[in-house]
């Protein structure tokens, strides 16, 4: 019996030596820099049969001392082997008290994990490890698993593949002759009806080491999902009762409220075709008024659905519930209204053609020219300050000069003044003409909710829960708008789309909606001039909405890759053209130029009247001074 025990011990040592080499070679092949493992912690193994387990206590102690001195324990050899390769490793003895979250948690780098199922432990402890790993979603791309088993049937029976997916890296190593055979294990989606797939990964022997036969990329060789059913849900509000949901989502009709859902569904159909899975489409037609996230997000959080085909806005709360696959839908909402030519007198119309900096420079140069002309005239003894000022004014207004001079310096100075005045006069005139020929009103409102509130327009919107989500945004301008919105009576806040469009036709009404819904109606109902007067103030500024999937779901990665392919292949652009509405077209060439109104000419007329009044006052004062001086002179005589 002693001889049989020694032989069994030698077999154990040889078995552990080759097992360590398999683990070492596999993780080197995977280019893993960190490894965690669960080993036996000693040299005993069921592979020696029951006789090895009934050694006397003294013989066990002797064998353990011999093994430790010559070979070291298995954990020590594993650590030594990986440290020599520059790989960080930690090991733990298999048992009932293993805390998976503490041992295998990783968020930023790949972690190699090996488990030795040949250890003399009960199956319950092994099952507990796999159950905990599934609970914490440790079968994704961050964990690379290597299982050392006795036979494939026993190993598979212990697995929990409920969270296996296309990204799973799970290899089982089984002894064969003087080497090992390795199998690649994965499941696309167990709850979707996917079968557990077992593929030959490669072999290992003492002479050649690891020989990998499964060299094709993980996603390319697993891309066939074998028509498994994937639950996809979306918000659909306007489907007729007598129409099939799939038919409705594929149909382009006059009902534009559900275009978001139709666009998302069309993209998922293309992804499903790429990877050969089928969609079980679910309709969500009720959104509780006080629910900020909606039934789709709640269902993805509770894993009632795998995917969502309704593009939704990104919020911190939603990101805690589920995962964004990709942002695909360009969305915005705005208040629309007409901007008519202003009926208010604007005195700035005189100064508006030129910027303030131009006016400042013009004044400075005018003063410089007055001084230069004064110096020249004084040297020639011809003129006074008042004549110098009149020369500048006459030049700017393209009038004649109030004197004649044969001196060359005076002529050069006056010619330069006339040229400067000519350029300024033409620039000013061109700016005025350009503003008149410009299409549309020149006084359109800024894209600001604050400006919209100050305009005192009548505000209304299309009644949706989505609007309630938008006005609860924490930005300052939206919160300011919310306070004003709550002052509007409940009955005046909401209007159907058609009534809202009719309201936009009347100046002073602003209606909030998605432009994709109202653009076709505006193009049919508005005239060319009315379209040119259309103004938009955004509530939801242009942003990209994303398609969502269940948190850490089996389809997150594959749908992301599929959607990226729709970008590069032009499919997304085609679907955008199909499900979005173009901006209303208006003919700029045939647009009639509006006449100058009396309101626009009032500032100019006031300037004329002001000049006339000042002239009359000065004339009266001059006559009074002249007569007073004349009377005083007569009395003195």
CA–CA separation, 204 vs 81, rounded Å?
A: 17
Average pLDDT over residues 564-585: 92
Mean pLDDT of the chain: 83
Check residue 610 and report its DSSP letter: H
Grouping H, G, I as helix, E, B as strand and the rest as coil, residue 73 is coil
CB 230 within 8 A of CB 277: yes
- E strand or H helix at 170, and its extent? strand 169-176
CA–CA separation, 356 vs 17, rounded Å?
A: 86
Q: φ, ψ for residue 397 (rounded to 5)? A: -90, 10
CA–CA separation, 65 vs 283, rounded Å?
A: 68
Q: φ, ψ for residue 548 (rounded to 5)? A: -120, 155
How many angstroms separate the Cα of 358 from the Cα of each of 352, 355, 361, 427? 11, 5, 5, 11
CA–CA separation, 403 vs 562, rounded Å?
A: 84
Q: Which tens digit of pLDDT belongs to each residue from 165-190?
A: 999 999 999 998 888 999 999 999 99
CB neighbour list of residue 485: distance below 8 Å, 6 or more residues apart: 459, 471, 493
Of 17, 33, 183, residue with least CA distance to 112: 33
pLDDT computed for residue 66 by the predictor? 41
CA–CA separation, 329 vs 544, rounded Å?
A: 5
In this structure, how many other beta carbons lie within 10 angstroms of the beta carbon of residue 375? 13
CA–CA separation, 312 vs 295, rounded Å?
A: 12
CA–CA separation, 549 vs 325, rounded Å?
A: 7
Check residue 591 and report its DSSP letter: P
Q: Which tens digit of pLDDT belongs to each residue from 298-346?
A: 999 999 999 999 999 888 889 999 999 999 999 999 999 998 766 666 6
Please provide the DSSP assignment of 533-569 as one string: TEEEEEEEEEEEEEEEEETT-TTHHHHHHHHHHHHHH
CA–CA separation, 136 vs 190, rounded Å?
A: 16
pLDDT computed for residue 69 by the predictor? 38
pLDDT computed for residue 490 by the predictor? 85
Q: Which tens digit of pLDDT belongs to each residue from 185-211?
A: 999 999 999 999 999 999 999 888 899
CA–CA separation, 118 vs 132, rounded Å?
A: 20
Average pLDDT over residues 216-241: 91
Please provide the DSSP assignment of 367-421 as one string: HHHHHHHHHHHHHHT---HHHHHHHHHHHHTT---SS----HHHHHHHHHHHHHH
Cα 560 to its chain centre, rounded Å, is 14
Give percent of the chain above pLDDT 70: 85
pLDDT computed for residue 503 by the predictor? 92
For the chain, the straight-line distance linking the first and the last C-alpha, in angstroms and rounded, comes to 162
Q: Which tens digit of pLDDT belongs to each residue from 26-35?
A: 999 999 999 9
In this structure, how many other beta carbons lie within 10 angstroms of the beta carbon of residue 174? 16
CB 147 within 8 A of CB 118: no
Strands 197-205 and 229-235: unpaired
Grouping H, G, I as helix, E, B as strand and the rest as coil, residue 330 is strand
Average pLDDT over residues 455-472: 86
Q: Which tens digit of pLDDT belongs to each residue from 387-426?
A: 677 777 777 776 766 666 667 777 777 777 888 888 888 8
Token pair listed for 431: 């700016």
pTM above 0.85, yes or no: no
Of 235, 425, 476, 452, residue with least CA distance to 335: 452
Cα-only R_g, the chain: 42
Token pair listed for 186: 């994965």
Q: What is the torsional sign of CA 120, 121, 127, 132?
A: negative
CA–CA separation, 524 vs 137, rounded Å?
A: 54
CB 533 within 8 A of CB 594: no
């Amino acid at each position: 019996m002693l001889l049989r025990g020694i032989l069994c011990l030698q077999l154990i040592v040889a078995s552990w030596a080759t097992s360590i080499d398999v683990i070492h070679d596999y993780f080197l092949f995977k280019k893993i820099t960190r490894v965690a493992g669960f080993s036996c912690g000693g040299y005993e193994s069921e592979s020696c049969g029951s006789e090895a387990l009934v050694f006397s206590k003294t013989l066990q102690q002797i064998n353990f001392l011999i093994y430790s001195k010559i070979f070291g324990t298995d954990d020590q050899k594993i650590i030594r082997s990986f440290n020599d390769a520059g790989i960080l490793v930690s090991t733990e003895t298999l048992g009932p008290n293993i805390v998976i979250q503490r041992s295998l948690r990783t968020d930023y780098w790949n972690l190699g994990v090996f488990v030795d199922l040949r250890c003399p432990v009960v199956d319950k402890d092994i099952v507990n490890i796999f159950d905990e790993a599934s609970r914490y979603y440790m079968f994704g791309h961050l964990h690379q698993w290597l299982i050392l088993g006795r036979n494939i049937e026993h190993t598979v029976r212990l697995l929990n593949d409920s969270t296996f997916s296309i990204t799973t890296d799970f290899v089982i190593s089984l002894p064969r002759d003087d080497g090992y055979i390795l199998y690649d294990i994965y499941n696309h989606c167990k709850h979707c009806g996917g079968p557990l797939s077992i593929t030959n990964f490669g072999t290992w022997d003492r002479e050649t080491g690891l020989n990998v036969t499964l060299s094709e990329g993980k996603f390319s060789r697993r891309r066939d999902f074998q028509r498994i059913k994937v639950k996809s849900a979306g918000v659909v509000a306007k489907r007729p009762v007598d129409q099939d949901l799939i038919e409705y989502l594929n149909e382009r009709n006059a009902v534009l409220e559900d275009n978001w859902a139709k666009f998302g569904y069309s993209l998922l159909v293309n992804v499903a075709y790429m990877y050969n899975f089928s969609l079980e489409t679910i309709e969500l037609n009720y959104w509780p008024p006080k629910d900020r996230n909606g039934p789709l997000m709640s269902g993805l959080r509770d894993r009632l659905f795998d995917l969502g085909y309704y593009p939704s806005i990104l919020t911190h709360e939603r990101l805690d519930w589920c995962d964004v696959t990709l942002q695909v839908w360009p969305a915005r909402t705005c208040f629309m209204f007409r901007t008519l030519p202003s009926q208010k007198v604007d005195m700035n119309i005189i100064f508006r053609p030129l910027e303030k900096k131009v006016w400042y420079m013009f004044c400075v140069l005018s003063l410089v020219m007055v001084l230069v002309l004064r110096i020249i005239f004084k040297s020639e003894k011809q003129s006074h300050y008042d004549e110098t000022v009149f020369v500048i004014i006459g030049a700017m207004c393209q009038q004649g000069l109030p004197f004649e001079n044969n001196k060359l310096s005076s002529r050069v100075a006056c010619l330069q003044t006339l040229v400067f005045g000519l350029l300024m006069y033409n620039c000013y005139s061109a700016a005025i003409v350009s503003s008149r020929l410009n299409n549309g009103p020149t006084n359109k409102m800024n894209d600001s909710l604050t400006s919209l509130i100050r305009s005192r327009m009548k505000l209304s919107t299309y009644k949706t829960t989505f609007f309630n989500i938008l006005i609860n945004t924490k930005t300052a301008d939206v919160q300011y708008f919310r306070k004003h919105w709550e002052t509007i009576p409940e009955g005046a806040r909401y209007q159907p789309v058609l009534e809202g469009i009719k309201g936009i036709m009347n100046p002073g009404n602003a209606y909030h909606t998605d432009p994709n819904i109202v653009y076709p109606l505006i193009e049919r109902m508005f005239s060319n001039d009315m379209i040119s007067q259309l103004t938009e103030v955004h509530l939801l500024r242009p942003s990209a909405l994303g398609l969502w999937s269940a948190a850490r779901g089996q389809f997150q990665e594959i749908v992301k890759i599929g959607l990226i392919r729709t970008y590069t292949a032009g499919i997304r652009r085609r679907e955008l053209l199909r499900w979005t509405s173009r901006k209303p077209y208006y003919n700029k060439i045939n647009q009639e130029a509006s006449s100058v109104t009396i309101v626009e000419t009032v500032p100019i007329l006031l300037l004329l009247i002001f000049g006339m009044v000042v002239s009359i006052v000065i004339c009266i004062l001059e006559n009074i001074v002249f007569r007073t001086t004349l009377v005083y002179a007569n009395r003195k005589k």
